[in-house]
Amino acid sequence: MRQRVLLTAALLIGISPGLLRADVLNLGVISFDNLIPAELGPGVNAFDICNFTDSSFFLPPDFLSLTPVT
């Protein structure tokens, strides 16, 4: 009985990657910026995170989310 359950689970795990798919969903942009260059001392780096799902900044061809993501 246990071998049958393990065999069935192994078959389902082996078949499932062919059935499941992933896709890209654009919601915003993360960029790495050099805010203050290092001249005499250490510089300052920054990450910018832009959420493009807000209703005031809706780009229909690229960002298809109709409701804001918080």
User: Between 41 and 15, whose confidence is greater?
Assistant: 41
Domain presence at residue 5: no
Please check the confidence at residue 16 and state whether its pLDDT lies above 80: no
Domain presence at residue 29: yes
DSSP result, 13-48: HHHHHHH--------EEEEEEEEE--SSS--EEEEE
User: Between 46 and 23, whose confidence is greater?
Assistant: 46
User: Between 55 and 51, whose confidence is greater?
Assistant: 51
Domain presence at residue 38: yes
Domain presence at residue 51: yes
- The domain in which residue 39 lies consists of 23-70
The pLDDT mean for the chain works out to: 77
Question: Which tens digit of pLDDT belongs to each residue from 30-39?
Answer: 899 988 888 8
Q: How far apart are CA 52 and CA 59, in angstroms?
A: 8
Question: What is the total count of domains within the chain?
Answer: 1
